[in-house]
């Protein structure tokens, strides 16, 4: 009985192999079947160059976002409001090592930025009233490559819900695909004034934007949202 079952199993395998081989043989003997034509009723660009004098005018510097982004990055920063006091050490260009030094592990942060392809960082800082401070940074990565800016912004947003930070998922920023702004819980410590903080993270093209607002009084959501939306508009 076992021998019969074994013979049947071998026969089944041989039948499968044989059938496959025959199938390949038949297919190989057939004439190749032509593929159907691609469905391309029209193309989005002219088949021939336009006659001289009919070419579209080049974009102006104002309309060309890449021209703006590759120029003086500092000019894309929001200007300090009237009456605000500029922070002398916090405006202009920011060295990458100084930028990385603000993280808990500066060495790792520096290597991380180099891996992302960081190119340059522009910063504007000012103070309004007695205690309100605003810091805006434009962190630019490889030209015409959105991956570095997007990855950096996503990484910062990822830890915002943690207890040492905003403890929430933030709110979506109008006009941005993935930009968000955050209000932090008040920080209280004996002998010190209460401290409130708000942040925004977003990116446009190869530029990551981060905005920090600090104050001893509560920060309305519209304040950080307005800053982020106006900075996005300048990009």
Q: 189-199: per-residue pLDDT in tens?
A: 999 999 999 99
Q: Is residue 57 part of a domain?
A: no
Q: Is residue 45 part of a domain?
A: no
* 153 and 202 Cβ atoms separated by less than 8 Å: yes
Helices 106-116/147-158 angle, 10° precision: 150
- Determine the Cα–Cα distance for residues 20 and 106; give it in Å rounded to an integer: 62
Q: What's the structural domain count of the chain? A: 2
Q: Is residue 39 part of a domain?
A: no
Domain that holds residue 19: 1-33
pTM: predicted TM-score of the whole model, two decimal places: 0.71
Q: Are residues 101 and 203 in the same domain?
A: yes
* Weakest-pLDDT range from 78-92, 170-184, 186-200, 210-224: 78-92
Q: Is residue 6 part of a domain?
A: yes
């Amino acid at each position: 009985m076992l021998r019969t079952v074994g013979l049947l199993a071998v026969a089944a395998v041989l039948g499968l192999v044989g059938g496959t081989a025959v199938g390949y043989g038949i297919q190989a003997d057939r004439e190749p079947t032509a593929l159907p034509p691609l469905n391309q009723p029209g193309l989005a660009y002219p088949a021939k160059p336009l006659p001289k004098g009919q070419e579209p005018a080049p974009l102006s510097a104002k309309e060309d976002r890449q021209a703006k982004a590759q120029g003086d990055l500092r000019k894309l920063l929001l200007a300090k409001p009237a009456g605000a006091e500029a922070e002398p050490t916090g405006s202009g260009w920011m060295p990458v090592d100084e930028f990385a030094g603000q993280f808990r592990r500066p060495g790792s942060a520096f290597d991380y930025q180099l891996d992302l392809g960081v190119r340059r960082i522009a910063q504007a800082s000012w103070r309004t009233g007695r205690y309100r401070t605003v810091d805006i940074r434009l962190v630019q990565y490889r030209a015409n490559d959105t991956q570095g800016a997007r990855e950096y912004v996503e990484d910062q947003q990822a830890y915002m819900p943690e207890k040492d930070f905003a403890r929430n998922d933030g709110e979506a920023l109008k006009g941005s695909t993935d930009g968000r702004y955050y209000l932090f819980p008040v920080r209280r410590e004996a002998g010190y004034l209460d401290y409130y903080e708000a942040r925004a993270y977003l990116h446009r093209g190869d530029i990551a934007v981060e905005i920090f607002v600090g104050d001893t009084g509560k920060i309305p959501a519209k304040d950080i949202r307005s800053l982020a939306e106006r900075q996005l508009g300048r990009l």
